Amino acid sequence: MLHRAEAIKAIETLWARFLDERTLPGNLRDAIRYSLLNGGKRLRPILVLHCCEAVGVPPERLVEHTWASAGAIEMIHAFSLVHDDLPAMDDDDLRRGRPTLHRHTSEAMAILGGDALMGLAFELIATRLKPVELAGRIVVELSCATNDMIAGQVYDTLPDFDPGMSAMDRLLTIHRHKTGALIRAACRMGAICGGADDNQLEAITSYGQAIGLMFQVVDDLLDVTQSTRQLGKTAGKDQRQGKLTYPGILGLDASRAEVKRLRLEAENALECLGTAAEPLRVLCEYMAIRTK
Ligand code: IPE
Ligand code: IPE
Ligand code: MG
Ligand code: MG
Ligand code: MG
C-alpha cells in the first residue's frame, strides 16, 4: 500500500535537489521556491502517482517512475498560477494564504519566475527521465497541455473570443483548456510512465478528461460559496471580473449536478482498471466535495 504523503514528500525532496543543483540568479531561485515549494494541494503530482499505480506499478517503485513527471507538471502549474495572478490577468493579491509572488517580490520577478518554471519543467524531463524515448513522449504530453492551458487563459481573458459560439460552448472551451488540459496530462503522464497499454491509457485519459473539467466547475463554485480565508485566495472574484463560469451560466444547483455527472463519468472510466485504480476513485470523490 502506497503511503501518499511520504511519496509526495520524497518527490518534493527530489525537485528541490534538482533546483539546488541548477545555477540560477538568487532572486529567481527565491521566486521559484516561493511559488513551488511552499504549499498547494499537489493534486497534479498525486494524479501522476496514482495513475502510474493504476496501470500496475508496485507502490515501492512509484516515486522513481514518477518524480520527474510529477515535478515538471507541478512546475507548469505553479507557472500558470503565478502568471494568472498578475495585474494584467486576474490581478490577485493572495494565493495559498500568502501574498501572490508579484506582491511578495515584484512583477518582473513574477513574470520571469513563471518563465523560468516553464523552462525548468522541460529541462527536468529532458535531463532526468530515462530512457530518452520515454522522455520524448512525456515532453509531447506536457508541451501540448501547456499550450492548451495558455490558450485557455487567452479565452478566459477574452470570454467573447468567438461570438458565434453559445456561452455554454465557450465556457466548456475555456475550462477544458485552462484547467482540464494539465489535469488530463498529469493522468496520461503517470500512465505512460507506468507502461500503460492502449486500453489502460484510454481509460485513464477518459478519467482525466472528466475530472479536469470537474475540477474547474468546483473551483468556480468555491469562488462563489467559500470565504477568502477558507480558500487562501480571494473569493468572489469571478463575477466582479466578468468571468464566464458554471455558476454564472447555470446557477449553483445545476453546476452541482454537473459535478455529480462528471464524477460518475470519471468513476465509470476506471471500471476496467480494477482495484489498482481504487486511489483514483477516492481522489475523484475528494475533488468533487473539496472545500478548498
Ligand atoms: C487552482 O488550482 C487553479 C485552477 C486550475 C483551478 P489548485 O486548486 O490545484 O491550486 P493549488 O496548487 O492547490 O494551490
Ligand atoms: C486558473 O483559473 C487557471 C489557471 C491558472 C491556468 P482561475 O483563475 O479560476 O484560478 P484561481 O481561482 O485564480 O486559482
Ligand atoms: Mg484566471
Ligand atoms: Mg485566477
Ligand atoms: Mg478560480
Q: Which tens digit of pLDDT belongs to each residue from 152-210? A: 999 999 988 898 999 999 999 999 999 999 999 999 999 999 999 999 999 999 999 99
The answer, yes or no, to whether any atom of ligand 2 lies below 6 A from the CB of 149, is yes
The answer, yes or no, to whether any atom of ligand 1 lies below 6 A from the CB of 216, is yes
pLDDT band at 1 (very low <50, low <70, confident <90, very high): low
Residue 219 alpha carbon, nearest atom of ligand 1? 6
Query: Are 3 and 104 contacting, i.e. CB atoms less than 8 angstroms apart?
Result: no
Q: Going by CA atoms, what residue is nearest to atom 14 of ligand 2?
A: 81
DSSP designation for 95: E
Compute the Cα dihedral for 195, 199, 201, 207 and give only its sign.
negative
For ligand 1, the distance from its centroid to the CA atom of residue 129, given in whole angstroms, is 25
For ligand 4, the distance from its centroid to the CA atom of residue 98, given in whole angstroms, is 14
To test ligand 1's pocket by mutation, which of 47, 48, 74, 77 has the most ligand atoms within 8 angstroms of CB? 77
* Average pLDDT of every residue of the chain: 96
The answer, yes or no, to whether any atom of ligand 1 lies below 6 A from the CB of 96, is yes
pTM for the structure as a whole: 0.98
Residue 85 alpha carbon, nearest atom of ligand 2? 13
Among all ligands shown, which has an atom nearest to the Cα of 80? Answer: 2
Q: pLDDT tens-digit profile of 82-131?
A: 999 999 999 999 999 999 999 999 999 999 999 999 999 999 999 999 99
Cα–Cα distances in Å, from 41 out to 48, 119, 249, 255? 13, 22, 27, 23
For ligand 2, the distance from its centroid to the CA atom of residue 83, given in whole angstroms, is 10
Among all ligands shown, which has an atom nearest to the Cα of 233? Answer: 2
Cα–Cα distances in Å, from 34 out to 63, 87, 137, 183, 201? 23, 18, 30, 22, 34
Lowest-confidence region among 36-40, 47-51, 206-210? 36-40
pLDDT at 39: 84
Query: Are 221 and 235 contacting, i.e. CB atoms less than 8 angstroms apart?
Result: no
To test ligand 1's pocket by mutation, which of 8, 35, 41 has the most ligand atoms within 8 angstroms of CB? 41
Average pLDDT over residues 6-15: 93
DSSP letter for each residue of 226-277: S-HHHHTS-TTHHHHTT---HHHHH-HHHHHHHHHHHHHHHHHHTGGGGGGG
Residue 216 alpha carbon, nearest atom of ligand 1? 6
The answer, yes or no, to whether any atom of ligand 2 lies below 6 A from the CB of 91, is no
The answer, yes or no, to whether any atom of ligand 1 lies below 6 A from the CB of 41, is yes
The answer, yes or no, to whether any atom of ligand 1 lies below 6 A from the CB of 40, is yes
Average pLDDT over residues 229-247: 97
